[in-house]
Amino acid sequence: MSALDSIIAGVREDLEQRRIPMGQLLEQLELAPPVRTCLPDLLSEEISIISEIKRASPSKGSLAEIVDPAGLAAEYEKAGASVISVLTERRRFGGSLADLDSVRKSVDIPVLRKDFMVSEYQFYEARAHGADVVLLIVAALGQNQLDDYFQLTKELGMDALIEVHTDDELERALEISPQIIGVNSRNLKTLEVDTQAFSQLIPKIPTGIARVAESGISKREDVVFAQECGATAILVGEALVRASSPSVAINQLLGRL
């Protein structure tokens, strides 16, 4: 079983434990705050940053305690983040929907629910908890699933970040006509990182699509490399949650300091 398969198995188990009746979830969805689109910022001429609330990872273990995710999100926003990414997967990343709730209430910029979306229920759940954007990992989904979940995301008013790691996954992603594609330099099946994925895949993404470089970004030189490859945005978690000052770290990555 690959790392990705193991994570998804845990996600499915946790989902069954917290699942509520669909009628009750739809009632919650009716009370959700309006969706805030992230697309204009991710397509701006200046590279933008998706700053992540991330306590742990399968490859690194514990990263940061983060007792106040709302406060950290507010600091990210003040420092110039365009989107806040919130890990909601519990077993490997230490996240929760409670984190999503608290962050959504604390910032005025779009919030991404970062999880392994493998059930339609999770999309209604994400919107009910205020998510503006969801992650669709091509490696975790069949083509019909990818298309169906993308259409459902749009029906619920949210944006979708379509994540790829290989040429084949990029081809599959382009078939659904996405607006945002993320190139993850981490192979989710082995957890190895190779930032050459940026140079191999980002230039193949058509202009007009927001192009997000994910994983392996910890210093200004990494951002410059991603931008030279054609990235319009970066997604950064570990380097920010481990920094003594996340706001300084953001400004350094964006070349403002």
Residue-wise pLDDT for 190-241, tens only, equals 999 999 999 999 999 999 999 999 999 999 999 999 999 999 999 999 999 9
Catalytic residue among 52, 75, 89, 238: 52
> Is 54 an active-site residue?
yes
Catalytic residue among 48, 51, 54, 75: 54
DSSP secondary structure string, 137-186? EGGGS-HHHHHHHHHHHHHTT-EEEEEE-SHHHHHHHHTT--SEEEEESB
pTM over 0.75: yes
Catalytic residue among 48, 82, 184, 187: 184
Catalytic residue among 48, 85, 106, 215: 215
pLDDT at 242: 96
- Residue 152 pLDDT exceeds 90: yes
Mean pLDDT of the 21-26 span: 97
Catalytic residue among 77, 89, 125, 163: 163
pLDDT at 235: 98
pLDDT at 104: 98
Mean pLDDT of the 26-46 span: 95
Catalytic residue among 114, 125, 185, 238: 114
Residue-wise pLDDT for 103-120, tens only, equals 999 999 999 999 999 999
- Residue 1 pLDDT exceeds 90: no
Q: Which residue has the higher pLDDT, 158 or 45?
A: 158
Which H or E run includes 12? helix 3-18
> Is 175 an active-site residue?
no
Mean pLDDT of the 26-44 span: 96
> Is 184 an active-site residue?
yes
Neighbours of 227 (CB within 10 A): 19
> Is 163 an active-site residue?
yes
> Is 189 an active-site residue?
no
Tokens of 253: 């990555």
pLDDT at 105: 97
User: Domains of the chain (ranges plus CATH)?
Assistant: 3-30+38-253 (3.20.20.70)
